[in-house]
């Protein structure tokens, strides 16, 4: 019998489904192992061969872990809220739930084709009310919590209320808005309910605040910073403007330090850790207050600096043009100039501002601040190199130590004062921390560390500053003016947001007549009829952002059907955290940061046990498209003819390159018949061939329909089978590396599986396995692969395993091995990679069908690999000259003698005196002359 992949694969996929082979229990004697994939957004286009790359790797790993005796949780689901379904709904009027359902069905079919070992009984969909009920529930927990810096964790809001009731705001160390009130316990008691609520909102981890948001009028929505690229929306490329708006936000900044600390205990790729570190952007420095007499007594401008030691070099304060004090500070004489400058910067788009980094601009306000240490006047300027959103939106300019300040000062003729004897100011600033300070009053002669200490102490003692830590990361906006997302479980009593009752969850997404903003500019939910809480109060009309559901979904898999909790305590305490998470690096600062934040919060509230949710993380590379081109010959007027010239001859003609469907090209050779059917206008195409073939050109591009380079896994599976697809995707190269998909080469993997199949069959094609004892060489081939695959999988080097399987099967074929003892173990070792063919052969070997998934991975026995001899490469002066087989237990002196007296070696020595012989046992002999 030949290897018929289609029949075998369908048979086993059905078997696994019918027998619930991959159903996994939350109780087990085995150690647990949780393998998670980043779940997909089910788009209308379906899967292409790039999508399953990570899933195949995680499936191999899961199947391997099962064979190694672990209880493996390996679930899959859908991140099914999202823009494309809504965009489609806007265009067609079809409810996004319907398109989403259809897309999920298609995804499921495609996934099932590949033979994954997911426990589908745990499937989650973020858009399903039984799931988003708990997303809303977590939101409510966040609303009902504050961050206590004293205990360094989030606490229920009741503990804050208790503190206010007994101590007022005194002694509180909390993360909050800037405008909190100071009050006593008695004053708190005297506050109205509304006043109290207003104050509490300044502390809640989910809170409302007026934020400047990226408003995209064309999309009718607010975008996150990472959705705005170069001033236009990532999706669609529409213009984005800054707009003030009441927005739900998440106080992720409360967790900045813990998010940073956690990076040290997790096993993630360095670039990803680095990206998160930069995103959080911690700077240690000081805040310094510069008094501003014109604003009134005791009024000041606060700046943040990482170089407080340079404070005596300050020649100006520079504010962001958007700074709130600019208008007040501008004197009548400077008014025209300042206003002109502000108009000019406002006009500049984000893009211009970035392109213009080197152009210095700014304006003098006419006012002066007072240097807190010298008492001297410091002019106050505005300039757009100072960003309103970072620090305090104001900087102290130190031209000798900061290049931007230097350029600014040179441009506007401000004095440049050197502050260190080590500074070299030849046309640029010198930020050195070496040397001793000069022109710096109380720190003259001190070193950097001494100076910082002395200055912070001094500033603190006069109330003009303190040591401060600043983060680049901002609180995350948690709202979208869109329809297809989780409703926020909040209604309004006047201006004040109130939570609905827990037993009223889920707050279902209401029906609307259109998926567009209302005429008055309200989000689509404003269109819902009679959508009021208890018939009276307005619901929140924005929905949650895309990252809400994905910030906790891995817990739902642990107990996906639980109606009473997001997951039971027992399930969570058994599975705890994700042992291996595989996904793309594009989620580095979005999903992976928000998930860590929610996880820490859930831990603070006692719902989950681990500080970090994803112990180990692997980024799979992107699979790019590999486009093929044909070259249409142009006539003298530059018009296209119906003649196409092969790649190698195209330079002899005037041609234009056209994309051609990669599915009608094989090894860059065009299928002429299929090409004529490809487009009606190609029906009578003629070809100029080379060597009888039409060779196509190629280029690496994004995989997309318009480039005709999309390869559907279903087509590959139809032709070669899922086992071939799985192994070929791995064979393509290291998992982490991005690479173009190229179907060339898949034949090699397909041939391998047929060769493997043939080991179990005789020349007539009948199943024929021998019970004889294997030879030494056969044992050796087996145990080499047992060890190799184990090592490779543990370091996620799947491509090298595939090569080793090929070597092993080549060896066994050469040995004509059909011994049961060898082939049965080989089935187990290969099973994670090629589950269908191995299940089939396993059953043919007489094992109970379907038991292979839970077989025991064979133990490696080093005795089979022990060698008594080794063929040493003999090199002279580092250049390999020949090989010499010597016993492995031969020691240096004997080796030297054998080698040096060898006739062939003598030739290379040319009679020169031997200086030294390097001998590394089992490796090499190097003669130095």
Partner RNA sequence: GCCUAGGUGGUGGAACUGGUAGACACGCAGGACUUAAAAUCCUGUUCGCCCUAAAGCGAGUGCGGGUUCGAUUCCCGCCCUAGGUACCA
Site for RNA in 143-172 (CB under 7 A): none
Task: Quote the least distance from Cβ 4 to RNA, whole Å.
Answer: 13
**DSSP state for residue 372 in the 8-state scheme:** T
By CB atoms closer than 10 A (0-12, 13-18, 19+), residue 1 is: exposed
Which helix H or strand E contains 195, and what residues bound it?
helix 193-201
Binder of RNA out of 10, 328, 331, 737 (CB under 7 A): 737
Binder of RNA out of 799, 818, 824, 838 (CB under 7 A): 799
Nearer to RNA, 10 or 803 (CB): 803
> Which region, judged by CB under 7 A, interacts with RNA, from 47-55, 108-116, 412-420, 912-920?
912-920
Task: Quote the least distance from Cβ 213 to RNA, whole Å.
Answer: 15
> Which region, judged by CB under 7 A, interacts with RNA, from 44-52, 143-151, 642-650, 919-927?
919-927
| Calpha distance 472→567 (Å, rounded) | 34
User: Judging by DSSP bridges, how do beta strands 206-216 and 221-223 pair with one another?
Assistant: antiparallel
Interface of this chain with RNA, residues 569 to 628, rule: CB under 7 A: 585-586, 588-589
886 close to 921: Cβ distance less than 8 angstroms: no
| Calpha distance 186→165 (Å, rounded) | 8
Binder of RNA out of 733, 767, 794, 887 (CB under 7 A): 733
* Number of residues located near RNA, criterion CB under 7 A: 81
| Residue 378 within binding range of RNA, rule CB under 7 A | no
| Residue 916 within binding range of RNA, rule CB under 7 A | yes
836 close to 115: Cβ distance less than 8 angstroms: yes
| Calpha distance 424→403 (Å, rounded) | 13
Nearer to RNA, 667 or 851 (CB): 667
Which helix H or strand E contains 108, and what residues bound it?
helix 96-114
761 close to 768: Cβ distance less than 8 angstroms: yes
Interface of this chain with RNA, residues 17 to 56, rule: CB under 7 A: none
> Which region, judged by CB under 7 A, interacts with RNA, from 50-58, 441-449, 529-537, 913-921?
913-921
Nearer to RNA, 93 or 648 (CB): 648
| Residue 920 within binding range of RNA, rule CB under 7 A | yes
487 close to 540: Cβ distance less than 8 angstroms: yes
Report which of 59, 16, 52, 13 is spatially closest to residue 36, judged by C-alpha positions.
59
Binder of RNA out of 163, 289, 307, 831 (CB under 7 A): 307
| Residue 670 within binding range of RNA, rule CB under 7 A | no
Nearer to RNA, 460 or 904 (CB): 904
Task: Quote the least distance from Cβ 462 to RNA, whole Å.
Answer: 20
**DSSP state for residue 267 in the 8-state scheme:** B
| Residue 803 within binding range of RNA, rule CB under 7 A | yes
| Residue 387 within binding range of RNA, rule CB under 7 A | yes
Task: Quote the least distance from Cβ 558 to RNA, whole Å.
Answer: 31
| Calpha distance 41→549 (Å, rounded) | 12
Interface of this chain with RNA, residues 250 to 279, rule: CB under 7 A: 270-271, 274-275, 278
Interface of this chain with RNA, residues 395 to 454, rule: CB under 7 A: 395-396, 402, 404
Binder of RNA out of 27, 332, 333, 357 (CB under 7 A): 357
| Residue 791 within binding range of RNA, rule CB under 7 A | yes
Binding mask 702-731 for RNA (x = CB under 7 A): -----------------------------x
> Which region, judged by CB under 7 A, interacts with RNA, from 42-50, 86-94, 546-554, 874-882?
874-882
| Calpha distance 426→646 (Å, rounded) | 60
| Residue 306 within binding range of RNA, rule CB under 7 A | yes
| Residue 871 within binding range of RNA, rule CB under 7 A | yes
| Residue 550 within binding range of RNA, rule CB under 7 A | no
| Residue 810 within binding range of RNA, rule CB under 7 A | yes
Binding mask 513-532 for RNA (x = CB under 7 A): --------------------
Assess whether the previous peptide bond of 506 is cis (omega < 30° from 0).
yes
Task: Quote the least distance from Cβ 507 to RNA, whole Å.
Answer: 33
214 close to 259: Cβ distance less than 8 angstroms: no
| Residue 752 within binding range of RNA, rule CB under 7 A | yes
| Calpha distance 826→837 (Å, rounded) | 12
By CB atoms closer than 10 A (0-12, 13-18, 19+), residue 700 is: middle
307 close to 431: Cβ distance less than 8 angstroms: yes
| Residue 800 within binding range of RNA, rule CB under 7 A | yes
CA dihedral 65, 71, 72, 75 (to 10 degrees): 160
| Residue 745 within binding range of RNA, rule CB under 7 A | yes
Radius of gyration of the chain (CA): 35
| Residue 181 within binding range of RNA, rule CB under 7 A | no
Report which of 33, 63, 39 is spatially closest to residue 111, judged by C-alpha positions.
39
Tokens 């872990």 sit at which residue? 65
Nearer to RNA, 145 or 695 (CB): 695
State the first-to-last Cα distance of the chain, in angstroms, to the nearest integer. 62
| Calpha distance 803→813 (Å, rounded) | 15
């Amino acid at each position: 019998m030949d290897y018929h992949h289609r029949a075998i694969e369908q048979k086993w996929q059905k078997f696994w489904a019918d027998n619930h082979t991959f159903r996994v229990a939350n109780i087990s004697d085995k150690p647990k192992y949780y393998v998670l994939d980043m779940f997909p957004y089910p788009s209308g286009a379906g899967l292409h061969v790039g999508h399953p790359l990570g899933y195949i790797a995680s499936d191999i790993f899961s199947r391997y872990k099962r064979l190694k005796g672990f209880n493996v949780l390996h679930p899959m689901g859908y991140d099914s809220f999202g823009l494309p379904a809504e965009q489609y709904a806007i265009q067609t009027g079809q409810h996004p739930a319907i398109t989403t359902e259809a897309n999920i069905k298609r995804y499921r079919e495609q996934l099932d084709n590949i033979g994954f070992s997911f426990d589908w009984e745990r499937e989650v969909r973020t858009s399903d009310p039984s799931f988003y009920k708990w997303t809303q529930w977590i939101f409510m927990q966040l609303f009902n919590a504050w961050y206590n810096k004293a205990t360094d964790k989030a606490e229920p809001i009741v503990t804050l209320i208790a503190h206010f009731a007994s101590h007022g705001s005194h002694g509180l160390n909390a993360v909050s808005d800037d405008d909190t009130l100071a009050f006593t316990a008695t004053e708190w008691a005297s506050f109205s309910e509304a006043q109290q609520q207003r104050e509490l909102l300044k502390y809640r981890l989910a809170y409302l605040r007026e934020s400047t948001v990226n408003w995209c009028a064309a999309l009718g929505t607010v975008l996150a910073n990472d959705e705005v690229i170069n001033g236009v929306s990532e999706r669609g490329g529409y213009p984005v403007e800054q707009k003030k708006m009441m927005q739900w936000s998440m106080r992720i900044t409360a967790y900045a330090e813990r998010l940073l600390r956690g990076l040290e205990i997790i096993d993630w790729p360095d670039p990803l850790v680095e990206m998160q570190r930069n995103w959080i952007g911690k700077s240690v420095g000081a805040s310094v207050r510069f008094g501003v007499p014109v604003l009134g007594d005791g009024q000041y401008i606060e700046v943040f600096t990482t170089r407080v030691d340079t404070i005596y070099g300050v020649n100006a304060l520079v504010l962001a043009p958007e700074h709130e004090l600019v208008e007040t500070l501008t004197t009548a004489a400077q008014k025209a100039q300042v206003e002109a400058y502000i108009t000019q910067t406002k006009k500049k788009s984000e893009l211009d501002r970035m392109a213009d980094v080197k152009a210095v601009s700014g304006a003098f306000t006419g006012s002066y601040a007072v240097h807190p240490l010298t008492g001297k006047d410091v002019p106050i300027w505005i300039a757009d190199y100072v960003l309103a959103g970072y620090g305090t939106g104001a900087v102290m300019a130190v031209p000798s130590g900061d290049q931007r300040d230097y350029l600014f000062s040179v441009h506007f003729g401000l004095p440049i004062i050197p502050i260190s004897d080590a500074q070299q100011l030849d046309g640029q600033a010198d930020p050195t921390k070496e040397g001793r300070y000069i022109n710096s009053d109380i720190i003259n002669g001190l070193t950097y560390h001494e100076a910082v200490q002395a200055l912070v102490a001094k500033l603190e003692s006069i109330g003009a500053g303190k040591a401060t830590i600043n983060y680049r990361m901002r609180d995350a906006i948690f709202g979208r003016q869109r329809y297809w997302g989780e409703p926020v479980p909040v209604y309004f009593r006047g201006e004040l947001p109130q939570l609905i009752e827990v037993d009223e969850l889920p707050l279902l997404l209401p029906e609307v007549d259109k998926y567009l903003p209302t005429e008055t500019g309200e989000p689509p939910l404003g269109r819902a009829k009679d959508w009021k809480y208890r018939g009276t109060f307005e619901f929140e009309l924005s929905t949650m952002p895309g990252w809400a559901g994905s910030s906790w979904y891995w817990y739902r898999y642990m107990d996906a059907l639980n109606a009473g909790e997001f997951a039971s305590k027992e399930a969570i305490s058994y599975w705890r955290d994700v042992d291996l998470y595989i996904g793309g690096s594009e989620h580095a600062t979005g999903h992976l940061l928000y998930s860590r934040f929610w996880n820490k919060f859930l831990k603070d509230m006692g719902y989950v046990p681990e500080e970090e949710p994803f112990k180990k993380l692997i980024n799979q590379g992107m699979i790019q498209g590999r486009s093929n081109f044909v070259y249409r010959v142009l006539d003298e007027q530059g018009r296209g003819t119906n003649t196409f010239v092969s790649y190698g001859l195209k330079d002899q003609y005037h041609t234009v390159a056209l994309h051609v469907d990669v599915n009608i090209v094989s090894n860059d050779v065009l299928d002429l018949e299929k090409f004529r059917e490809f487009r009606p206008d190609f029906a009578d195409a003629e070809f100029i061939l080379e060597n009888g073939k039409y060779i196509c050109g190629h280029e690496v591009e994004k995989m997309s329909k318009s480039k005709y380079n999309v390869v559907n896994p279903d087509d590959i599976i139809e032709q070669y089978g899922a086992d071939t697809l799985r192994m070929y995707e791995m064979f393509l190269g290291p998992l982490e590396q991005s690479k173009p998909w190229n179907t060339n080469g898949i034949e090699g993997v397909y041939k391998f599986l047929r060769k493997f199949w043939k080991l179990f069959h005789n020349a007539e094609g009948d199943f024929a396995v021998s019970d004889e004892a294997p030879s030494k060489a056969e044992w050796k081939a087996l145990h080499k692969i047992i060890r190799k695959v184990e090592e490779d999988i543990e370091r996620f080097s799947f491509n090298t395993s595939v090569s080793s399987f090929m070597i092993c099967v080549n060896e066994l074929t050469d040995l004509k091995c059909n011994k049961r003892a060898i082939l049965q173990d080989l089935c187990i070792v290969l099973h994670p990679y090629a589950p269908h063919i191995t299940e089939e052969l396993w059953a043919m070997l007489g094992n109970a069908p379907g038991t292979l998934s839970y077989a025991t991975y064979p133990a490696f026995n080093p005795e089979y690999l022990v060698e008594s001899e080794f063929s040493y490469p003999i090199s002279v002066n580092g250049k390999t000259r020949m090989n010499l087989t010597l016993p492995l237990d031969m020691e240096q002196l004997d080796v030297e003698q054998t080698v040096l007296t060898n006739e062939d070696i003598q030739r290379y020595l040319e009679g020169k005196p031997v200086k030294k012989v390097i001998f590394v046992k089992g490796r090499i002999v190097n003669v130095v002359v």
